[in-house]
Amino acid sequence: MVEIKTDTALEAMREAGRVVAHALAAARAAAAVGVRLSALDEAARAVLTEAGARSPFLGYQPSFAPVPFPAVICASVNDAVSHGIPDGYRLRDGDLVSVDCGAELDGWTGDAAISFTVGTPRPADLELIAATQRALDAGIAAATTGRRIGDISHAIGTVARKAGCGMPADFGGHGIGRRMHEDPHVPNRGRPGRGFPLRHGLTLAIEPMLMAGGHDDYRTDPDGWTLRTTDGSRAAHIEHTIAVTRDGPRVLTLP
């Protein structure tokens, strides 16, 4: 069931989204060569705690996961597409890192992700991140009243394919509000003019995941969570929670 949010609810989600933005900024600020991924999780966790927010990631266990998620962020490095567990891995010069974070505040949720490089960046990684950002921007721009979910999906997929990138078919964006994952599903590819209609008050997490190798295949690590490219190519993941409004799409997870 899709819940259309009131304007009051949108303001509450904006506050949750602001916490997410600050947590992601803290995680990024903590990232440096030699730093453990767990330190990024600690930095984000401190922001959530200070804000009085709860993590929707910590303890989350969807049907595909063998164990509950053990952290407040996902930290995916290099060929990891998403859902990486922030463990004791020490970041190396040139690593590409994607961090995903959520926050629940006063009963409303925000969800966003960033991708960045550590140390000396590879030009190809910067191009991949830029393509992922363009895909997200295109998806957000398509999120206007009177259109449909398929228009968002088509916009994202068009940018990704033009950049020569693959996308994991089983994963994409989603509705969001009282819970992190709500209806409707927002695929990262699709046909325009299809799917759920976009109305004022519909809130969505839009999240392109691009794989540089151009293939759509992925594999899951033994931890049951981390998704990786099958060809070892690098991946990037960028996400915002947005609201469809009469005045155009409103990004709720900005600082």
Average pLDDT over residues 153-175: 97
Domain for residue 233, yes or no? yes
- Is residue 127 marked as binding? no
Q: Does the structure show a pLDDT above 90 at 169?
A: no
- Is residue 215 marked as binding? no
* Partners of 242 in beta bridges: 204, 251
- Is residue 181 marked as binding? yes
Average pLDDT over residues 183-210: 98
Domain for residue 1, yes or no? no
Domain for residue 66, yes or no? yes
CATH number of the domain to which 80 belongs: 3.90.230.10
- Is residue 3 marked as binding? no
- Is residue 240 marked as binding? no
**What are the tens digits of pLDDT across the range 14-41?**
999 999 999 999 999 999 999 999 999 9
Calculate the dihedral angle through the C-alpha atoms of 47, 234, 165, 213, rounding to the nearest 10 degrees: -160
Average pLDDT over residues 45-73: 97
Domain for residue 211, yes or no? yes
Domain for residue 73, yes or no? yes
**What are the tens digits of pLDDT across the range 126-136?**
999 999 999 99
Domain for residue 91, yes or no? yes
The pLDDT, as a whole number, for residue 65 is 93
Number of domains present in the structure of the chain = 1
Average pLDDT over residues 86-107: 98
Cβ-based neighbours of 101, under 8 Å, separated by 6 or more: 20, 23, 24, 27, 44, 57, 72, 73, 74, 111, 112, 113
**What are the tens digits of pLDDT across the range 217-230?**
999 999 999 999 99
Domain for residue 75, yes or no? yes
Domain for residue 187, yes or no? yes
Burial class (CB in 10 A: 0-12, 13-18, 19+), 34: exposed
Mean pLDDT of the chain: 98
**What are the tens digits of pLDDT across the range 228-253?**
999 999 999 999 999 999 999 999 99
Residue whose C-alpha is closest to residue 174's, from 145, 154, 158, 196? 196
The pTM (predicted TM-score) of the whole model is 0.97
Question: What's the domain range around 122?
Answer: 7-251
Report how far residue 31's alpha carbon sits from residue 238's, in angstroms, rounded to the nearest whole number: 17
